[in-house]
Structure 1
Amino acid sequence: MSRILRAQHDSFPLSTPFRISRGVKTQAEVVTVALEQGGETGRGEGVPYARYSESIETALAAIQGVRDAIENGADRAQLLGLLPPGAARNAVDCALWDLEARLSGCSVAKAIGAPEPERLVSALTIGIDTPVAMAVAASRVAHAPLIKVKVDATIPDAQIRAVRAAAPKAKLIVDPNESWDETLVRAMQKVLVSLKVDLLEQPVPAEADEWLEGFTPEVPICADESVHVAEDLEVIARRYQVVNVKLDKSGGLTEALALAQAARARGLGLMTGCMISSSLSIAPALHVARMSDFVDLDGPIWLREDYPGGVRDEAGWLSPPQTGFWGSI
């Protein structure tokens, strides 16, 4: 039976600006894919990221390039050879998962032999600002079990201290988004320990992390921009203690599951992350989150308006979408 593929650019305004070391975001720009077959529609979402030389235009062009193959029945395994890892493949892969579930009457969870997604702890993010402003923001979510602190290389010590003082009980992830260098990472070790930071995420540029092979950190370091697919782990395992699996990096749930399983097999810790996105991006990621030590899926929380029936945050606990939203029957 033939399929119809539709791909479009959707934009979701944020309720407040999201600041990281690379800049400020005020809207989530996504590519949405819909696959129609047999009276059912499967959906997927990808978030092109300039850090990986992606844009809405390049993602839509990539999807257009595989339209014929997908409409003629190419499956998820074949998709891995049709598109490289990235947002375009993610959108198509997740649409295929959703379509398969709807056509078969078997949920994604059952297809992968896992429990249905349940409520879990997911980090709430404090964007870069002055220490005083970050303390105010942290005080609003101090009850959350897990907080992520965005910093850069200017005054990270003061920023982290401010958040910790405002949220003394929360677990902390510190994320410099590649803005530190080796000297600063080494200098910050004692600070991170004293402030009871649980995880340091991708402190240095992915292109300049070789020195980590000879470094034993006092707080585990998580690879984000440095790791995309399972093949990266041979090198990553020598440099990092944890890997952050994002579907927009791996190119969909299919490869994300392979990466997560391979990371566990190597004894690495696991984190599930996301871009600023809608619940359509988060629903598939929940199937990796259930395996993870750290979960950071608050992308939709930043939106002024998400899809009806999407994920819900309550005090740092993330509930899955309503049944039928994505991948469930």
Structure 2
Amino acid sequence: MADHKTSPPPLVTARDLEKEFRGRRVLADVSLDLSPHTVTGFLGANGAGKTTAIRLMLGLLPGGGETLFMGRPLAQYRAPARIVGAVLGGVAGHPKHSVRAHLAMVAAGAGTPGRRVAEVLDRVGMQEAAGLRLGRLSLGMAQRVGIAQALLANPRVLILDEPANGLDPHSVRWLRTFLREFADDGRAVLVSSHQLAEMELLADRIIVLARGRVVAQASLSDLMGAAQTRVSVESPALDRLAPLIERQGGALTVTASGAEVTGVSRVQVGDLAAEHSIPLHWLDERSVSLEEFYLSVADQEYRSR
């Protein structure tokens, strides 16, 4: 992401989003910002509430809270497609229509020049498939056509719900590059996913949703920096090392192969062992992955409910 000395105001602000289905609250107090030059990852397990939150933001569902796009509700814009483009699961169109005809129809409805159809097909690499019928598209091709449709009016914000579903590794790499270029042009992207490894490669910022609540929200680097590292230790004197680590605010848990230490660094463990003449047979430090971090914050939410 480009380095900007001053933080520009967010393009989208969502505050206190809430939703109930049949008397059961599925979304509560969800607030988030989407900033220019930023790809924001919306992370959560299936059923966490990601799609519901997105539909509330876009005004596709009734519910509590408010979402402003550049300071105004989306409904106040005469041409909302120029403000936000969204992909919520492939393409919705007649299965016998060709890709080109479908996009031309959507462009006409949005008041967008017909020449944009060729431009967006080129942008998503679907020129050769323009004559295919929608009903014959693979899931991955449908995802690309959905993105092309979202781009027709050249929006400032792009919202994609699970866009990597059905994409092969080559297409996932394309998606990553495309979203990076879109954000670098001063626009904002929200991309939801339950694929943790993909978020590590794709997003600048992560919002973690669990049971309809935001349980973490920060830049990817800050989230990973705040996550505890894990230190593996092997020693014949773990019983002597454990209380020393606890005095430093850490914890030592005995495992089948030795012990795992959290709360203090590898260097601190080594210094403590040297200072108290405790032999070490193995000492290693590993940062937690995004998957481990997600599981830890999600588990905290589940235990608190």
Q: Would you say same fold, with TM above 0.5?
A: no
TM interval, shorter chain, is 0.3 to 0.5
Structure number with larger C-alpha Rg:
2
Identify, as 1 or 2, the structure richer in strand: 2
The alignment's TM-score, normalised by the length of structure 1, stands at 0.31
